[in-house]
Amino acid sequence: MTQIQTHTHLAAEAAAASPGEPWLNITIFGAFVAITLIIVFRASRNNKTASDYYAAGRSFTGGQNGAAIAGDYLSAASFLGIVGAIAVTGYDGFLYSIGFLVAWLVALLLVAELLRNTGRFTMADVLSFRLKQRPVRIAAATTTLVVCFFYLLAQMAGAGGLVSLLLGIGDKLGQAVVITVVGALMILYVLIGGMKGTTWVQIIKAGLLIAGAAVMTVWVLAINGFSFSTLLDNAVATAGNPAILDPGLKYGVSEVAKLDFLSLGLALVLGTAALPHVLMRFYTVPTAKEARKSVVWAIWLIGIFYVFTLVLGYGAAALIGPEAIAAAPGGANSAAPLLAFELGGPVLLGLIAAIAFATILAVVAGLTITAAASFAHDIYASVVKKGKPAPGAEVKVARRTVVVIGIIAIIGGIGANGQNVAFLVALAFAVAASANLPTIVYSLFWKRFTTQGALWSMYGGLGSAIVLIALSPVVSGTPTSMIPGADFDIVPLSNPGIISIPLAFFLGWLGTVLDKGTEDPLKQSEMEVRSLTGVGAEKAVQH
Amino acid sequence: MGNDALSADTSTALADVDYPAIQQSPEFQTLRRTHRGFVFPVLAACLVWYFAYVLLASYAHDFMSTPVFGSINIAMLLGLAQVVTTFAVTTWYVHFANKRLDPLATEIREGIEADAAAASETEGANR
């Protein structure tokens, strides 16, 4: 026991400066960037048409796309955020993992294949299929951009924390410089590589991340005699608190906290199938059957990874201790890198840090191309140019949008430095589930659904979620808020899901029932037949 | 090659398909019923099971904290059970879709594409 505690102190002291060797971390990360850039350049030779740029020519297999989905989904939130949350708040952190995983059943059973059969590039393609094009596309593009923005913010915030820990850069200015470098790299990937380059970066990153987590998991278990129970005992001993094994440490303190937890659970399980960057990945495969295969691959990879996070989280609690982690630069987000240092010294830390950077880079790239596609395809080509853009103009607009979004992400990331990333991502899930999911489900399964219902649901869901977040303790009223000085936290819930998701479903129903007009029944027939049979679905591009 | 060239090819060939008639056909109605008959109840059951777990974690702390093997308590086991059921349902759905949904969908799709091809050929012959 004393030995573990000495280790704890050493780790804490090392963490206060920077554990490991910054130059080693930079070298390993530089190697990753160099290798992926070569692959992106090679993959980008055929990026001429919109199908190539947004959907990688629909040429990926189900297995490849499944790995890319896992790469896209296992963001900094999953790796840094969940390991940190388990290490610091115990079992309550694991509840994130379960919600993030079970959510895939909604995507598999209700959305993936039907969406692949009816759409072309974006979520709005499906939502506006049988409704009025202009207003529905504008609404869907708006919700896409907002969700991507929240998600981007979380990833960039994670980058800031990681930098402070790994490169020993403590001051805000130095961190801002590194966030800018990460953002600039991401712009380069997406600009050159389009969806094909982005997908390859995600596949490589998923492989590295899962392999890295597997090595650390086996290592942690080996230290504890391959007994999960012993690991838990050691975690309790180091933490000095047996409650870390039970639910409720974070979310059991009051009735409001319990409700907040339910709200989080709802947002997690319903958010995934409504995340625009996840939905867009289904267009990169040639058929609906391949879309199904990709989800199956993704579920296995993601599920296994989350089991690893349980071991890693308690491993960090046992070997380093919750207090030392919370006190380290980067806070809870630093649990996984600190654990790597504890296990394998500077080399393993360098590897894990490079993987974590790669994770942020790959997810940010995926979000950026989704947001750019939505703006260029839904707003520019379909609304501004009324579906008839000049040849090549749409892709040109998409590329310019990439640069703009990159700059916004860099500025937002510098601003949002420090929040727990798993928590910020949970807000993105809540906004996605409120603004997008009701309209996706209604337009696929409810014949009577109308444009008015879609608009009420999307704007109502988006607006209510954002207003609730703005009035919550996340933004003001507590020392950990974004604006700690102000105090306008009227809503006690820090996740809006439990109010805004049912409200959005209700508004979709109400808007439809009160709508005197009806939609084109021919379009409804076409959508239903196409969604289930795959007639007229977009084929793979032949080069 | 313009942005829309790709979709133009596929949609002109299938422009004259009578979707309402296909939608009303018994074959399509069977496909629709088989699909909904699986995904709705299975998804509902999975969500009920998930929320039962979330509610237990929020409101039944004593029950969840009961140790089962060594320090491994019911909360850990139920959490891992969620992972296992997710894997199981995934495998079940893939099996069902391959065996029951895909043959029906393929038959309808190939019927439509054959009709469309025949229609465009007669059109070509008439010119």
Got the DSSP string for B37-76? HHHHHHHHHHHHHHHHHHHHHHH-HHHHT-EEETTEEHHH
Q: Is residue B4 part of a domain?
A: no
For residue B72, the enclosing domain spans 25-126
Two tokens, residue A354: 């490079």
- Domains of chain A and CATH, by start: 2-428 (1.20.1730.10)
C-alpha distance from residue A439 to each of A140, A375, A446 (Å) = 9, 19, 10
What's the rounded Cα separation, in Å, for the pair A212 and A210?
5
Taken in order A330, A331, A336, A339, the sign of the CA dihedral is: positive
Rounded to a whole number, what is the distance in Å from the CA of B93 to chain A's nearest CA?
8
The pLDDT score that the predictor gives to residue A293 is 93
Residue with more model confidence, A168 or A60:
A60
What count of CB pairs under 8 Å joins A to B?
A: 178
* Residue of A86, A98, A505 to mutate, interface with B, max B Cβ within 10 Å: A98
Query: Cβ of A431 under 8 Å from any chain B Cβ?
Result: no
Cβ atoms of A122 and A369 within 8 Å: the answer is no
Give the pLDDT confidence of A70-86 residue by residue, as tens digits: 998 998 767 888 899 89
Q: Is residue B18 part of a domain?
A: no
What's the rounded Cα separation, in Å, for the pair A37 and A162?
22
Rounded to a whole number, what is the distance in Å from the CA of B2 to chain A's nearest CA?
5
Q: Which of A104, A262, A529 sits opposite B28 (nearest CB)?
A: A529
Domain count, chain B: 1
Q: Per-residue pLDDT averaged across B24-45, rounded?
A: 96
| % pLDDT > 90, chain A | 42
Give the pLDDT confidence of A35-68 residue by residue, as tens digits: 888 888 887 776 778 888 888 888 899 999 999 9
Give the pLDDT confidence of A173-220 residue by residue, as tens digits: 877 887 888 788 888 888 888 888 889 889 999 999 999 999 999 999
Query: Cβ of B83 under 8 Å from any chain A Cβ?
Result: yes
Query: Cβ of A51 under 8 Å from any chain B Cβ?
Result: yes
Q: Is residue B51 part of a domain?
A: yes
Q: Is residue B5 part of a domain?
A: no
Dihedral class, residue A57 (left if φ above 0, else alpha if ψ from -120 to 50, else beta): left
Q: Coil, strand or helix: which one is A327?
A: helix
Q: Is residue B2 part of a domain?
A: no
Identify how many contiguous H helices and E strands chain A contains and give both numbers.
23, 0
Q: Do B3 and A392 touch (CB under 8 A)?
A: yes
Rounded to a whole number, what is the distance in Å from the CA of B16 to chain A's nearest CA?
11
Query: Cβ of B99 under 8 Å from any chain A Cβ?
Result: no
Q: Is residue B120 part of a domain?
A: yes
Give the pLDDT confidence of B56-111 residue by residue, as tens digits: 998 888 899 899 988 899 999 999 999 999 999 999 999 999 999 999 999 999 99
Give the residue carrying structure tokens 């160099």.
A34
Give the residue carrying structure tokens 């529905």.
A136
Q: Is residue B12 part of a domain?
A: no
Query: Cβ of A403 under 8 Å from any chain B Cβ?
Result: no
Rounded to a whole number, what is the distance in Å from the CA of A92 to chain B's nearest CA?
9
Q: Do B82 and A101 touch (CB under 8 A)?
A: yes
Two tokens, residue A125: 């393609």
Q: Which of A99, A252, A299 sits opposite B61 (nearest CB)?
A: A252
Q: Do A251 and B79 touch (CB under 8 A)?
A: no
Q: Is residue B13 part of a domain?
A: no
